[in-house]
């Protein structure tokens, strides 16, 4: 048996979403016929679930960041970073990343919005917490937006699919406050920002290790941004779009 | 501020957290992980002109893992560091994990799923380096197979077999009841 069709390797690729739909379908038939394969799949899924419960990776110590910045000459003075210096360096990184992506993005309003959406996600990751309200309950998150912004966003529950909701926040895009939902996938966060009247989002874009996938639904433009793999983000977007909403 | 520093701040700094997380998993020690990340960042800075704007995160992680292996070889007992060709060694040795044909009666999925986080973390820490690295990149850092192949510099087939072996070991271990 060659490696390419060893079912006990393919079952991992199946669980990791690495098979294209035709191969995934063929593999599902194979699993249905072979209880050993189905059992292996169950164990892999169980292991992947167990791994989501590992405590989140420790943030790099602030001292490490400043050591690195000093080493490359981004920071001049040695010694303990003060809180204001730390905040300034975070601010600088955000400004730099925004300024630099700007030039490679398509001109026009959508490019600018895209840039601000990505910038908001990066900024959120650097904050104490990436959301203004922490809740995994969409019936808490959705009403939270009411009264703060004109239109509250579509909030769906994808916890069973491995993308639990963790909260929501308000971003300011093109000077307009807009809702962003925050979902988690393993150790990564996915921001979904909803905008209206700011132009259609691009279908897919990658910049600096982040992926952005956009779509339009019922007159609302959605922008999903994350540093997860593009396959995971596509899967998330597909699930988000297909999930039922109850208002 | 010159272009290279701007580029470094733009390309490398946003992924410092991932770099540190990977270094910790490889070194299993916080202060070694910090030294590794600092050295990797310096290497990244020197090589920033050659970075092709493709996947900054995968690019940085590949520098981190290369730096980590060089660093660990230099600072630790070389016998503790991964052998070059772990697949060959593994192939020669009998399967320690019961192999893929363990069948549905062995390690129960529910036992695996309920595994205590500390036990799971220890089991991951005990994996051979190449297996651990592949598993961490896939399941904790969410890279796809293609990106893992790029980061670790091996074909996708090797990524698949390392991942399968890593997971099989964990499943066999966690599927056992703790007496």
Q: Domain segments of chain B: what residues? A: 3-78, 82-175
Q: Domain check: are A155 and A185 in the same one?
A: yes
Q: Domain check: are A85 and A176 in the same one?
A: no
Q: Domain check: are A85 and A130 in the same one?
A: no
Buried b (16+ CB within 10 A) or exposed e, A89-124: bbebbbebbbebbeeebeeeebbbbbbbbbbbbbbb
Question: Containing domain of residue A37, as a range?
Answer: 3-52
Nearest-by-CA chain A residue for B5: A74
Model confidence band, residue B153 (pLDDT cutoffs 50, 70, 90): very high
Model confidence band, residue A24 (pLDDT cutoffs 50, 70, 90): very high
Distances from the Cα of A126 to the Cα of A22, A75, B31, angstroms: 40, 19, 22
Alpha carbons A194 and A180: distance in angstroms, whole number: 6
Q: Domain check: are A236 and A164 in the same one?
A: yes
A233 inside domain: yes
Of B7, B58, B117, Cβ closest to residue A54: B117
Of B41, B56, B144, Cβ closest to residue A208: B56
The pLDDT value recorded for residue A8 is: 92
Task: Count up the domains in chain A and report the number.
Answer: 3
Of B60, B144, B167, Cβ closest to residue A47: B167
Segment A193-200 mean pLDDT: 84
Model confidence band, residue A100 (pLDDT cutoffs 50, 70, 90): very low
- For the segment(s) B82-175, the CATH number from 1.10.10.10, 1.20.58.100, 2.60.120.200, 3.30.499.10 is 1.10.10.10
Residue A147 vs residue A84, higher pLDDT = A147
Largest CA distance in chain B: 63
Q: Domain check: are A235 and A187 in the same one?
A: yes
The pLDDT value recorded for residue B82 is: 52
Residue A124 vs residue B136, higher pLDDT = B136
Tell whether the model's pLDDT for residue A59 goes beyond 70.
yes
Tell whether the model's pLDDT for residue A245 goes beyond 80.
no
The pLDDT value recorded for residue B102 is: 46
Alpha carbons B12 and B3: distance in angstroms, whole number: 14
Measure in Å the smallest separation between the Cα of A31 and chain B Cα atoms: 12
Choose the mutation target among A27, A40, A70, A127 for the interface with B, i.e. most B CBs under 10 Å: A40
Q: Which of A44, A76, A104 is the last residue of a domain?
A: A104
Of B109, B121, B161, Cβ closest to residue A54: B121
Under DSSP, the state recorded for A146 is B
Q: Domain check: are A119 and A217 in the same one?
A: yes
* Cβ pair A24, B144 in contact under 8 A: no
**Interface contact flag, A8 B100, Cβ < 8 Å:** yes
Segment B108-115 mean pLDDT: 86
Alpha carbons A65 and A217: distance in angstroms, whole number: 41
Q: Which of A35, A52, A69 is the last residue of a domain?
A: A52
* Lowest-confidence pick of A70-74, A103-107, A221-225, B84-88: A103-107
Nearest-by-CA chain B residue for A35: B104
Alpha carbons A19 and A10: distance in angstroms, whole number: 8
**Interface contact flag, B112 A43, Cβ < 8 Å:** yes
Name which of B129, B130, B131 is nearest B170 in CA terms: B131
Q: Domain check: are A82 and A178 in the same one?
A: no
**Interface contact flag, A97 B9, Cβ < 8 Å:** yes
Of A12, A38, A64, Cβ closest to residue B34: A64
Choose the mutation target among B32, B102, B104 for the interface with A, i.e. most A CBs under 10 Å: B104
A247 inside domain: no
Alpha carbons B107 and B113: distance in angstroms, whole number: 11
Tell whether the model's pLDDT for residue A191 goes beyond 90.
yes
**Interface contact flag, B160 A13, Cβ < 8 Å:** yes
Tell whether the model's pLDDT for residue A125 goes beyond 50.
yes
* Cβ pair A167, A134 in contact under 8 A: yes
Alpha carbons B23 and B45: distance in angstroms, whole number: 18
Q: Which stretches of B47-85 are DSSP H helices?
A: 56-75
Alpha carbons B160 and A217: distance in angstroms, whole number: 37
The pLDDT value recorded for residue B100 is: 47
Q: What phi and psi values does residue A65 have, to the nearest 5 degrees?
A: -55, -45
- Mean pLDDT for chain B? 83
Q: Domain check: are A206 and A168 in the same one?
A: yes
Nearest-by-CA chain A residue for B121: A54
* Cβ pair A74, B5 in contact under 8 A: yes
Of A3, A96, A206, Cβ closest to residue B6: A96
Please tell me the CATH code under which domain B3-78 is placed.
1.10.1740.10
Model confidence band, residue A103 (pLDDT cutoffs 50, 70, 90): very low
Helix (H, G, I), strand (E, B) or coil at A46: helix
Choose the mutation target among B1, B4, B13 for the interface with A, i.e. most A CBs under 10 Å: B13
Four-residue CA torsion sign, A226, A228, A229, A231: negative
**Interface contact flag, B109 A43, Cβ < 8 Å:** yes
A10 inside domain: yes
A67 inside domain: yes
The pLDDT value recorded for residue A126 is: 80
- Mean pLDDT for chain A? 80
Q: Which of A69, A104, A139 is the last residue of a domain?
A: A104
Q: Domain check: are A120 and A27 in the same one?
A: no
Task: Name the B residues in 38-97 with CB < 8 Å from any A CB.
Answer: 38, 41-42, 45, 53, 55-58, 60
Q: Domain check: are A180 and A231 in the same one?
A: yes
The pLDDT value recorded for residue A102 is: 37
Q: Which residues of B touch A9 (CB under 8 A)?
A: 160-161, 164
ipTM above 0.85, yes or no: no
Under DSSP, the state recorded for B101 is G
Q: Domain check: are A122 and A222 in the same one?
A: yes
pTM over 0.80: no
The pLDDT value recorded for residue A151 is: 73
The pLDDT value recorded for residue A88 is: 53
The pLDDT value recorded for residue A104 is: 40
B109 touches chain A (CB under 8 A): yes
Name which of B149, B62, B153, B90 is nearest A18 in CA terms: B149
* Cβ pair B159, B130 in contact under 8 A: no
Segment B116-124 mean pLDDT: 91
Segment A88-111 mean pLDDT: 48
Q: Domain check: are A44 and A125 in the same one?
A: no
Four-residue CA torsion sign, B64, A130, A182, A222: negative
Q: What phi and psi values does residue B55 have, to the nearest 5 degrees?
A: -135, 100
A81 inside domain: yes
């Amino acid at each position: 048996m060659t490696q390419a069709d060893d079912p006990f390797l393919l079952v991992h690729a199946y669980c990791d979403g690495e098979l294209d739909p035709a191969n995934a379908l063929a593999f599902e038939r194979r699993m249905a016929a072979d209880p050993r394969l189905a059992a292996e799949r169950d164990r892999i899924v169980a292991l992947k679930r167990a791994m989501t419960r590992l405590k989140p990776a420790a943030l790099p110590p602030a001292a490490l960041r400043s050591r690195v910045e000093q080493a490359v000459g981004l920071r001049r003075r040695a010694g303990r970073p003060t809180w204001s210096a730390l905040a300034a360096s975070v601010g600088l990184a955000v400004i730099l990343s925004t300024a630099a992506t700007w030039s490679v993005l398509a001109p026009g309003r959508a490019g600018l919005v895209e840039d601000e959406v990505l910038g908001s996600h990066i900024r959120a990751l650097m904050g104490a917490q990436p959301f203004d309200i922490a809740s995994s309950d969409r019936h808490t998150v959705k009403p939270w937006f009411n009264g703060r912004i004109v239109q509250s966003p579509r909030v769906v529950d994808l916890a069973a699919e491995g993308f639990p909701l963790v909260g929501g926040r308000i971003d300011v895009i093109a000077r307009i406050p807009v809702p962003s939902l925050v979902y988690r996938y393993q150790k990564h966060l996915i921001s979904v920002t909803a905008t209206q009247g700011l132009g259609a989002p691009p279908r897919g874009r990658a910049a600096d290790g982040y992926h952005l996938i956009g779509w339009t639904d019922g007159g609302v433009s959605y922008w999903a941004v994350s540093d997860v793999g593009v396959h995971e983000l596509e899967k998330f977007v597909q699930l988000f779009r297909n999930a039922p909403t109850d208002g | 501020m010159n272009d290279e520093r701007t580029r470094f701040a733009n390309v490398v700094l946003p992924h410092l957290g991932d770099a540190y997380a990977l270094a910790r998993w490889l070194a299993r020690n916080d202060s070694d992980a910090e030294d590794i990340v600092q050295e990797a960042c310096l290497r990244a800075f020197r090589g920033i002109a050659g970075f092709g704007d493709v996947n900054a995160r995968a690019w940085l992680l590949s520098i981190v893992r290369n730096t980590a292996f060089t660093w660990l070889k230099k600072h630790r007992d070389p016998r503790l560091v991964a052998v070059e060709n772990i697949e060959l060694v593994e192939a020669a040795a009998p399967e320690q994990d019961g192999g893929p044909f363990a069948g549905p009666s062995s390690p129960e999925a529910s036992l695996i799923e309920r595994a205590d986080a500390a036990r799971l973390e220890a089991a991951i820490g005990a994996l051979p380096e190449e297996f651990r690295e592949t598993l961490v990149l896939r399941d904790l850092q969410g890279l796809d197979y293609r990106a893992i192949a790029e980061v670790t510099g091996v074909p996708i087939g090797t990524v698949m077999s390392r991942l399968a072996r890593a997971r099989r070991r964990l499943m066999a271990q966690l599927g056992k009841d703790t007496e």
